Structure 1
Amino acid sequence: MPLRLPDKLPAIELLKKENIFVMDDSRATSQDIRPLRIVILNLMPLKITTETDLVRLLSNTPLQMEIYFMKLKSHTSKNTPIEHMMMFYKDFDVLEKEKFDGMIITGAPIEHLEFEDVEYWNEISKIFAWANTHVTSTMYICWAAQAGLYYHYGVPKYQLPKKMFGIFQQHTLQPQIPLFRGFDDVFYMPHSRHTEVRREDIEKHNELEIVAESPDSGVSIVMARGGRQIFVTGHMEYSPYTLDSEYRRDLGKRDDVDMPKNYYRDNDPQKAPNVTWRAHANLLFSNWINYYIYQETPYNIEEIGYKNKFHTL
Structure 2
Amino acid sequence: MPVRIPDNLPAAEVLESENIFVMSETRAANQDIRPMRVLILNLMPNKIETETQLLRLLGNTPLQVGVDLLRIHDKASRHTSIDHMNNFYRDFEEVRHNNYDGLIITGAPLGQVEFEDVSYWDHIREIIDWSQRHVTSVLFLCWAAHAGLFHLYGLNRTVLEKKRSGVYNHKRTSEHFPLLRGFDDEFFAPHSRFAEMSLTQLRQHPDLQVLAESDQAGAYLVLSKNNRNLFVMGHPEYHKSTLNDEYHRDLAAGLAPQIPQNYYPGDDAAKPPVARWHSHGSLLISNWLNYYVYQLTPYDLSDMTAITPWESKHS
- Length-normalised TM-score, structure 1: 0.96
Query: Distance in 2 between the 1:55 and 1:303 partners?
Result: 27
Residue 198 of structure 1: CA displacement?
A: 0.6
* Residue in structure 2 matched with residue 311 of structure 1 by the alignment: 310
* Residue in structure 2 matched with residue 165 of structure 1 by the alignment: 165
* Residue in structure 2 matched with residue 119 of structure 1 by the alignment: 119
* Residue in structure 1 matched with residue 96 of structure 2 by the alignment: 96
Kindly indicate whether the alpha-carbon contact (under 8 Å) linking 1:240 and 1:273 is maintained by their aligned counterparts in 2. Answer: yes
Alignment of 1:78-157 (within 5 A): 78-157=78-157
Deviations 1:46-72 (A, max 9, x none): 000000000000011111110100111
Residue 199 of structure 1: CA displacement?
A: 1.2
Which letter maps to 2:106?
Answer: T
Which letter maps to 1:219?
Answer: A
Deviations 1:33-86 (A, max 9, x none): 111000000000000000000000001111111010011137542221000000
Which letter maps to 2:198?
Answer: R
Alignment of 1:272-291 (within 5 A): 272-291=272-291
Query: Distance in 2 between the 1:254 and 1:128 partners?
Result: 35
SS of structure 2 residue aligned to 1:102:
strand
Asked if 1:70 corresponds to 2:67, the answer is no
Residue 254 of structure 1: CA displacement?
A: 5.1
Alignment of 1:246-257 (within 5 A): 246-251=246-251, 253=253, 255=255, 257=257
State the aligned residue count. 312
* Residue in structure 2 matched with residue 184 of structure 1 by the alignment: 184
Residue 215 of structure 1: CA displacement?
A: 0.4
SS of structure 1 residue aligned to 2:176:
coil
Query: Distance in 1 between the 2:26 and 2:136 partners?
Result: 27
Kindly indicate whether the alpha-carbon contact (under 8 Å) linking 2:74 and 2:91 is maintained by their aligned counterparts in 1. Answer: no
Kindly indicate whether the alpha-carbon contact (under 8 Å) linking 1:69 and 1:90 is maintained by their aligned counterparts in 2. Answer: yes
Alignment of 1:289-304 (within 5 A): 289-304=289-304
Query: Distance in 1 between the 2:256 and 2:150 partners?
Result: 25
SS of structure 2 residue aligned to 1:77:
coil
* Residue in structure 2 matched with residue 7 of structure 1 by the alignment: 7
Deviations 1:184-239 (A, max 9, x none): 00111100001111112223420011111000000111100432100000000000
Residue 297 of structure 1: CA displacement?
A: 0.4
* Residue in structure 1 matched with residue 200 of structure 2 by the alignment: 200
Residue 256 of structure 1: CA displacement?
A: 6.3
Kindly indicate whether the alpha-carbon contact (under 8 Å) linking 1:74 and 1:120 is maintained by their aligned counterparts in 2. Answer: no
Residue 255 of structure 1: CA displacement?
A: 5.0
Which letter maps to 2:49?
Answer: T
* Residue in structure 1 matched with residue 235 of structure 2 by the alignment: 235
SS of structure 2 residue aligned to 1:251:
helix
Query: Distance in 2 between the 1:210 and 1:225 partners?
Result: 10
Coordinate RMSD, CA, aligned: 1.4
Residue 161 of structure 1: CA displacement?
A: 1.1
Query: Distance in 2 between the 1:96 and 1:40 partners?
Result: 14
Kindly indicate whether the alpha-carbon contact (under 8 Å) linking 1:74 and 1:119 is maintained by their aligned counterparts in 2. Answer: no
Query: Distance in 2 between the 1:238 and 1:132 partners?
Result: 27
Which letter maps to 1:311?
Answer: W
Query: Distance in 2 between the 1:263 and 1:122 partners?
Result: 36
* Residue in structure 2 matched with residue 211 of structure 1 by the alignment: 211
Which letter maps to 2:170?
Answer: Q
Deviations 1:137-189 (A, max 9, x none): 00000000000000000101111111100000011111221111111001111
Query: Distance in 2 between the 1:119 and 1:16 partners?
Result: 37
Kindly indicate whether the alpha-carbon contact (under 8 Å) linking 1:156 and 1:201 is maintained by their aligned counterparts in 2. Answer: no
